[in-house]
Structure 1
Amino acid sequence: MDWQKAAESLAGSVTDPDSRWRAPVSIVPRHELVPRWWERDGSGGWLLRDGATDPESWWKAAYTDRSLITSVGGLHADHAEPGDRPEGLPTSSATLPSLVVRMLRHGRLGPGLDLLDLGTGAGGLTAYAATRLADQRVTSVDVDPYLTSAAAERLARFGLRPRFVALDATAEIPGTYDRIIATVALRPGSALRTVLGALREGGRLVTTLANTALILTAWKGPDGEARGLIERDTAGFMKTRTSDNYPPALTELFALARSAEGDERSTGRYPVVDVAEAWELRSMLEVTTPGVELGYETHDRHRNAYLVHPDGSWARASAEWTDPPEVHQGGRQRLWTALERIRNRLNAEGSLPLLGAHVRITPDGVVHLSRGNWRASMG
């Protein structure tokens, strides 16, 4: 198979004919960035895929517009044995090229600008940016030293030598940059404060916010604040982490939510929904009730949704298909009630005020949102 023709075909599907990103996508050998990856096995587990032993599947996966999971629960596909079955959340991936291009376009890159790629992953965004910009203008960082070293080695094979640094970008970022594009979701507050501190005056930040699908773009002013908007565009990225894996989920609280009667029992107004897949609802829930973790199960036509919070609050909604659900809630907060308030607003107004909202990020990393008479702060 001719990888260059495959890359040109991929570029044609994810960029416009006059896009400045068409050439980078068409000349980067994406298959070299993802020699091994994880795929779902159909029963909820993970199956290792090795490109060298199945070249046809390798090339098809690499030059299709899809994300490829490269690490699960901290186990890199590069380090795995064929019988390994990792557990936990994905911790790294090769992001689908169309989304990489969208984030680069939001970044407003140009000659002479220094770019920080926050979240190396498989190195795709770094490769595209370094192809278009001078190598010395691109720095890529990741908390996982293996990711930065592997990406550096693989990009060097096709003549790209941007700077790679392994560090926890939520704690410290050396140097300053004209553009920062994060392909990990940042938490408002301390993490965003650190990133904002690495952005030069007049610089532009592009990121998603943790537990949301919101793409935030902002320009940093002379007062140290950054102002911009929530783009009318959405994306989902893994959250920043400070080690090779995420902290354990609220397992005991999820177990309680699955079986307990709770302090309050009621009939819900709206059908059970998989909140994690309802991106606008999920995003607004994080704005109004930050820190909620989600679970969802289906069996035949029966649906169960679970919401839990680190403060001990939990909710369970159960129903047959689209029937009104039976809702059980416990703890300090009424999480399903909070979700239903959002759904009330969506039904009453036809939309939520998130997309297109004005953004102001103060030097402490707090995100202030506004649209019309609506106001909210995160972090």
Structure 2
Amino acid sequence: MIWRPRADQLATAVTHPHSRWRPAVAAVPRHVFIPQWWTREEHGWSLHDGPADPDHWLDAAYADRSLITAVAGHHADGADPDHHPTGRPTSSATLPSLLIQVYRHARIGPHDSVLDVGTGSGYGTALLAQRLGDARVTSIDVDKYLVEAARERLSSLGRYPLIEVADATDAIPGVHDRIIATVGMPHIPASWLRALRPGGRLVTTLADTSLIITATKQGDGSAVGKVEWDRAGFMAARSGRDYPADATDQLAAAWTTHGDVKISPYPVVDVEQAWDLSSMVALTIPGVEHGYRVEHGRRIAVMAHPDGSWARASSTGPQPASVHQGGPRRLWDQLDAIRAQWLTTGELPVRGARVRIEPTGRTVLTRSGWHTVVKP
């Protein structure tokens, strides 16, 4: 299979000409790590078999896009073409430009040892090993199958980094100069600070946000850094085959349920497409889920939380939204409070915030009189 020209084109697309990552992207055959993948269709998720259609395989593998490799714990590898799973994606081959973006934030030196949190397909691990050498790369994933598949695929290329099954929110192996997560973390575990050498740097996103946190370990065992002005988003870390129960049922009910009624001072917003707003909401109300659609010119947004809180807002164009909400919390009221802060100050404070991670993992974000705490 002629893949090298494709890999070279991908390297040109996702790196600048003098990037130290350019040779790695050009040298790693991405298709090896994605023999099968899922795409979302109206009737559920549909399977794509790479070897059955080599041209389509190469087109997909060497495009700068993420490919879903597991849905609700169902791996694409070896799946029945007639199987159409439902649920959330649980693993993917991350788009290469996003991997390079995160690696740049890590400021990886040629002699640094790296812990790669979230092996996934193994492609990112391969890029790290290609640049740094096998001995400097450790990769972990909670999914035993993904670990075994990544080992096999890397070994087929003559690469043997250490890859282990581990829960990123629990104890992690070794001591490292860099810790890089390509999963969204609910919090920064204390184990990460213990596994990071003094002066070492960690890079992660917070689950359900687009916030990239970078921090350097201090002599007292804490780490200090910032929320980068850049943005990135990854699947949330999990501790099992699938994610735990969430607000899916409440979100479905929110489209039709009637509750307390109010008129918002603001029009409907598609929260998930407003990255800073959705990040603030996720920090303020962890676990909240969103939905959005347009019906006959009317925009409708819903919110729901596992505690039973829900909200539905609808409006036409820029008109103030009519809101129904119920449960123990008034979710749309909390959203409106965040939007009021945005309009008052001209921006939301989370991007660019200072970060301090205590040895316990307690993480404090502060900026311009605002602060929030992400607890372990």
Mark yes or no: TM-score above 0.5: yes
Task: Please list, as runs of the form range in 1=range in 2, the aligned pairs for 1:208-247 lying within 5 A after superposition.
Answer: 208-247=205-244
- Is 2:251 the partner of 1:254? yes
Q: Cα offset for 1:44?
A: 6.0
CA RMSD of aligned residues (A): 1.5
CA contact (8 A) 1:135 1:161 kept: yes
Q: Cα offset for 1:68?
A: 0.4
Aligned twin of 1:133: 132
Matches of 1:314 and 1:25, distance apart in 2? 45
Aligned twin of 2:263: 267
Task: Please list, as runs of the form range in 1=range in 2, the aligned pairs for 1:116-155 lying within 5 A after superposition.
Answer: 116-155=115-154
Which amino acid letter does the alignment assign opposite residue 250 of structure 1?
A: A
CA contact (8 A) 2:246 2:306 kept: no
Structure 1 unmatched runs, 5+: none
Structure 2 unmatched runs, 5+: none
- What do residues 17-68 of structure 1 show as CA deviations (whole Å, max 9, x unaligned)? 1100000000000011101101122x26211001111111110111110000
Matches of 1:373 and 1:8, distance apart in 2? 47
Q: 1:249 to 1:372 in 2, by over 3 A?
A: closer
- What do residues 267-318 of structure 1 show as CA deviations (whole Å, max 9, x unaligned)? 1222222212221111011222222122223334233222122322211112
Q: Cα offset for 1:333?
A: 1.8
- Number of aligned positions between the proteins: 375
Aligned twin of 2:101: 102
- What do residues 49-98 of structure 1 show as CA deviations (whole Å, max 9, x unaligned)? 01111111110111110000000111111031111101100000000000
CA contact (8 A) 1:100 1:124 kept: no
Aligned twin of 1:297: 293
CA contact (8 A) 1:35 1:78 kept: yes
Local SS of the residue matching 1:53: coil
Matches of 2:20 and 2:30, distance apart in 1? 18
Matches of 1:243 and 1:235, distance apart in 2? 24
CA contact (8 A) 1:7 1:29 kept: yes
Tell me whether 171-180 or 296-305 shows the greater mean CA deviation: 296-305
Aligned twin of 1:320: 316
Scaled by the length of structure 1, the TM-score of the pair is: 0.95
Matches of 1:86 and 1:156, distance apart in 2? 30
Scaled by the length of structure 2, the TM-score of the pair is: 0.96
Matches of 1:375 and 1:39, distance apart in 2? 39
Which amino acid letter does the alignment assign opposite residue 178 of structure 2?
A: R
Q: 1:373 aligns with which of 360, 369, 374?
A: 369
CA contact (8 A) 2:246 2:287 kept: no
Which amino acid letter does the alignment assign opposite residue 84 of structure 1?
A: H
Aligned twin of 1:24: 24
- What do residues 219-238 of structure 1 show as CA deviations (whole Å, max 9, x unaligned)? 01111111001111111101
- What do residues 110-155 of structure 1 show as CA deviations (whole Å, max 9, x unaligned)? 1332110000011121111100112011001000011111111111
Report percent identity of matched pairs.
52
Task: Please list, as runs of the form range in 1=range in 2, the aligned pairs for 1:47-66 lying within 5 A after superposition.
Answer: 47-66=46-65
Aligned twin of 2:37: 37
CA contact (8 A) 1:142 1:165 kept: yes
Matches of 1:185 and 1:103, distance apart in 2? 12
Q: Cα offset for 1:202?
A: 1.4
Which amino acid letter does the alignment assign opposite residue 24 of structure 2?
A: P
Tell me whether 336-345 or 8-17 shows the greater mean CA deviation: 336-345
Matches of 2:104 and 2:247, distance apart in 1? 37
Matches of 2:171 and 2:211, distance apart in 1? 24
Local SS of the residue matching 1:233: strand
